[in-house]
Structure 1
Amino acid sequence: MTWNEIKETQEKVVKIITNSIRKQRLAHAYLFEGAKGTGKRKVALQLAKTFFCDEKEGVEACGTCSDCKRIESGNHPDVHIIQPDGQTIKIDQIRNLKKEFSYRGMESIRKFYIIEDAEKMTISAANGLLKFLEEPDGQSIAVLTTTEVHRILSTILSRTQILSFVPLTPLKLMETLEKNGVIKPITRLLGQLTNDIEEAYQLYHDDWIVQARAIMIQLVEEVSTRPHQVFLTLQENWFPHFKEKNQLNLGLDLLLLWYRDVLRTLIATEDQLIFVDHTDKLERQALNSSQRKVGQQMAAILEAKRRLSANVNPQLLMEQLMMRLQEG
């Protein structure tokens, strides 16, 4: 990973950091704020590589030296990552952090700390961190990350350089995925399911999303043409693939996107289709449907998503949804 690659998704953040690197004016403490999946941890680790790498070319870490490789693998002795212990970051974690700051680095005088989900610090932990922020060490950098900047103490905000990470637009996510070899029908789908590039790659890994898509299309075809087969497909294909609650929620999202494409086919806005490689199936389904019926089917899926979040039994939920989809 390089700053140039990260710049494709977080141009403003990269510009600020790389300008500081060139001028040798890196802040002693940063607060990276933005939605989940916007690359805050990735940028923090890239900054750590740049900070430690003695072989860098301009602003770019070499990526091949011992420091770069150990930061990449997560075992550099002078790069520390603090994460919530349960639901919070506790005062003892900050005390241990401050103790580390009092020691000389294992291999140099440089140290780098990442405090993830900083909004989860208890009040005592946040107050304990202030001493470090008030007494910066020129050879140390701390990066705090948060998805809820409004929960960070104002005293911490005032002592950090705040960098805001913007969510990827569906188009930008699709472009990034395509550049990295993901086929277009799948990039269209992933662009609708998430704005988190890491989650998108995770879904694509091992063809999970490809199989999920195929199972969903089989199911909706059976709803309209082979209703007697639907419940068998649920048992044999759907439930084994959509095992976890978050996976089932994604499955419902897939169904919702499919019926939205049916609606778009009905109202002649095919240029906006997600399932562009299945227009024949969408057209067949649209011929036997109506805007009113598709609207009811989409409402049924949204209701199923609401019930899933309320912890309704997944098997009961899907069986009832299939009956509602068949009724229209």
Structure 2
Amino acid sequence: MKTWSDIAKVQPLASKVIINSMKKGRVSHAYLLQGERGTGKEAIARLIAKGLFCEDKQGVEPCHTCNACKRIDSRNHPDVHWIEPEGQSIKIEQIKNLQKEFTYSGVESNQKVYIIVGADTLTLNAANRILKFLEEPSKKTTAIMLTENSQAIIPTIRSRCQVIDLQPLNPSHFQQQLIDAGVQEKSAKLLSSLTNNFDEAIAWNEDEWFATARKLMVQLVEVFADQPDDAYLFIHNHWVTNFKERKEQEQGLDLLLLAFKDILYFHIGNEDRLIVFTPGDERLEKLGMYFSQEKLVDILHHLLQAKQKLKQNVNPTLVMEQLTLQIQR
């Protein structure tokens, strides 16, 4: 999604609100863009920034080819500042550095923009510090805050922003986009259940690590059913060594969620909703005989708890060990 026309196709309401503001010359001093991954938050943030700096706009549509537009795309524009989490959070030192930058005049104009990616990860001190910008906005300063978890944004920040809700993308439409790009239908179905980001889905589809992750996910589910006493060893010998980074660990749990949901769908006769397995798969029938509906609901609950623990920075190996014991019970 590179133009407002692209955004309008998937986020018609959000694009209409922002475009109308731009036409009237009333760009908000602070936006909070909230929506799932892949719904266009960063694309919208870039377009707002381009709209303020573009040297050759056509109406509200930036040219995308001028020096300013190119530098915004490459994150090298001196008056457009990007703030992203360092580790698991955005720290107060990052906000202090931003404040220092804003004490200087704009390099090429008096306009300044700062874009905070993952605004829900602001530490409490950092969030309180950012309030100074929001409470005393300069006419030439625009804040754009992006979040997947709007509930984690403190109320004092929310109340000072124009909140833009982004709607989830249509999974079937996204799945067809992937198929049109050459992704096999089964893989497209799986990828569209894990992400709404086209570039990310294509990268995963071509990544050997992701192919290995899919195999390990199915193998682990089968180990739980066929050799439950070996599950703990499988976690340490195969799972932990493959899922090393936090994003990979979260993705591993997402894959397990899809697999166990498939077994539950098999139980209740919703085989048209299968993602990991296919109707008539002997492995699915065998897993359906081993796991009861009651047990599957319990496992899905524990998987969601495990995902939450990862977000709370609990040791990932400990999370998987606990999950394994819970599934074995």
TM bracket (short chain): 0.7 to 0.9
| TM-superposed deviation, 1:49 | 1.9
Shift of 1:71: 0.9
Secondary structure at 2:252's aligned position in 1? helix
Aligned residue for 2:285? Answer: 286
Q: In 2, distance between residues paired with 1:108 and 1:52?
A: 9
Mean Cα deviation higher: 194-203 or 264-273: 194-203
Which residue number corresponds to residue 132 of structure 2? 127
Preserved CA contact (<8 Å) 2:119 2:146: yes
**How many residue pairs end up in the alignment?**
312
Range moving further from structure 2, 198-207 or 294-303:
198-207
Q: CA deviation at 1:14?
A: 1.4
Identity of aligned residues (%): 31
**Is 2:164 the counterpart of 1:163?**
yes
Shift of 1:75: 0.8
Report the Cα distance in structure 1 between the residues aligned to 2:178 and 2:290, rounded to whole angstroms.
33
* Cα deviation, residue 27, structure 1: 1.4
CA distance in 1: counterparts of 2:248 and 2:52, whole angstroms: 39
Q: Which residue does 1:81 correspond to in 2?
A: 82
Indicate if the aligned counterparts of 1:83 and 1:89 stay in contact, CA closer than 8 A: no
Q: Match for residue 150 of structure 2?
A: 148
Task: Tell me the equivalent position of 2:186.
Answer: 185
Q: Aligned AA for 1:153?
A: T
Alpha-carbon spacing, 1:169–1:88, altered in 2? closer, same or farther (3 Å): farther
Answer yes or no: is the 8 Å Cα contact 2:85–2:91 preserved in 1: yes
Note the 1:1-12 alignment, pairs <5 A: 1-12=2-13
What's 2:15 paired with?
Answer: 14
Residue 100 of structure 2 corresponds to residue 96 of structure 1: yes
In structure 2, C-alpha distance between the alignment counterparts of 1:300 and 1:83, rounded to whole Å:
34
Q: What is the match of residue 30 of structure 1? A: 30
Q: Secondary structure at the match of 2:292?
A: helix
**Aligned partners of 1:162, 1:319: CA distance in 2, in Å?**
40
Q: Offset at 1:117?
A: 5.4
Structure 2 gap segments, 5+ residues each: none
1:193-226 Cα distance to aligned partner (Å, 9 max, x none):
4566676566556244333222222343455567
Distance 2:18 2:55 in 1: 18
Alignment CA distance shift 1:263-1:83 (3 Å): closer
2: CA distance between counterparts of 1:122 and 1:222? 45
**CA separation of 1:321/1:292 partners in 2, compared to 1, >3 Å: closer, same or farther?**
closer
Supply the distance in 2 between the matched residues of 1:288 and 1:164 (Cα, whole angstroms).
40
Q: CA deviation at 1:299?
A: 2.3
Residue deviations 1:64-88 (CA, integer Å, cap 9, x gap): 3221221111111121234578655
In 2, the alpha carbon distance for the partners of 1:302 and 1:99 equals: 49
1: CA distance between counterparts of 2:101 and 2:127?
15
Given the two structures, how large is their TM-score scaled by the length of structure 2? Answer: 0.73
